[in-house]
């Protein structure tokens, strides 16, 4: 049986390169592609892939939120994060969201095939470039969470924050998330209160800094 794979990355050239590399393996098949996190969640639900190769920085919904929703909907699906981000807060957030592997994009050609086979056997995989730092930080911090958007805000608040940062109006956010405009406004107020921010410009800067949005 082929390992069914979903590619989630907002750059088509990256998806094309990954697909070409993966389908050279006789037991791997790319069954779907997604250009943003929200599409990835939908495709994972409809296609039921064995593995999702997930970028973090994507429009509409980032890869961390998408991973959390995919894992919540299907415990059998494995997510492998493929990202340029080396920072502890991103690695920690992806692993807590349910990712089974974290690979730095610079190392993808050397590591991805092996990582897929490893997670399919029930193991986890971290790029050697980050593995030592992750273990060291966990031991020193005893697993304490790094403060930031992924610990201070709820999943829904992070969704709203990303869409605010991407320039959507309250009405547009409400329609996209199937919420009332009043609920969206309440979420925005709670976000500002929690983070000590006062306007959309400050929210946007924060979202960019925390990797919630890349614009």
Q: What is the mean pLDDT of residues 27-50?
A: 96
Q: What is the pLDDT of residues 106-154, one digit of tens each?
A: 878 879 999 999 999 999 998 887 876 666 565 545 555 566 777 788 8
Instruction: Please say whether the structural domain 3-141 has been given the CATH code 3.40.710.10.
Output: no
Domain boundaries, the chain: 3-141, 149-210
* Long-range pairs for 184-187: beta carbons < 8 A, 24 or more residues apart: 184/160, 187/156, 187/157, 187/160
Question: Following DSSP, what letter does each residue of 180-207 receive, concatenated?
Answer: -HHHHHHHHHHHHHHHT--SHHHHHHHH
Check residue 137 and give its pLDDT: 61
User: Given pLDDT bands bounded at 50, 70 and 90, which one contains residue 205?
Assistant: confident
Intrachain domains 3-141 and 149-210 with the same fold: no
Check residue 138 and give its pLDDT: 56
Check residue 75 and give its pLDDT: 81
Q: Distances in Å between the alpha carbon of 43 and those of 6, 11, 66, 80, 172? A: 8, 17, 11, 16, 23
User: Given pLDDT bands bounded at 50, 70 and 90, which one contains residue 88?
Assistant: confident
Give the architecture-level CATH label for domain 149-210.
Orthogonal Bundle (1.10)
């Amino acid at each position: 049986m082929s390992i069914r794979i979903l590619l989630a990355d907002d750059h088509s050239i990256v998806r094309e390169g990954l697909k070409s590399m993966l389908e050279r393996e006789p037991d791997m098949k790319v069954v779907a592609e997604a250009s943003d996190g929200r599409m990835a969640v939908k495709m994972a639900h409809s296609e039921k892939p064995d593995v999702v190769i997930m970028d973090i920085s994507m429009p509409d919904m980032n890869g961390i939120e998408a991973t959390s929703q995919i894992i919540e909907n299907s415990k059998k699906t494995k997510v492998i994060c493929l990202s340029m981000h080396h920072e502890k807060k991103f690695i920690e957030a992806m692993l807590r969201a349910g990712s089974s592997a974290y690979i730095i994009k610079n190392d993808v050609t050397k590591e991805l095939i092996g990582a897929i086979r490893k997670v399919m056997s029930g193991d986890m995989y971290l790029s050697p470039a980050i593995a030592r730092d992750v273990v060291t930080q966990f031991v020193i911090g005893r697993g304490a969470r790094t403060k930031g958007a992924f610990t201070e805000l709820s999943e829904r608040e992070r969704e709203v924050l990303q869409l605010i940062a991407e320039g959507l109006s309250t009405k547009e956010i409400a329609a996209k998330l199937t919420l009332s405009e009043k609920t969206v406004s309440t979420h925005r107020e709670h976000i500002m209160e929690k983070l000590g921010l006062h306007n959309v410009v400050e929210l946007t800067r924060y979202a960019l800094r925390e990797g919630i949005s890349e614009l």
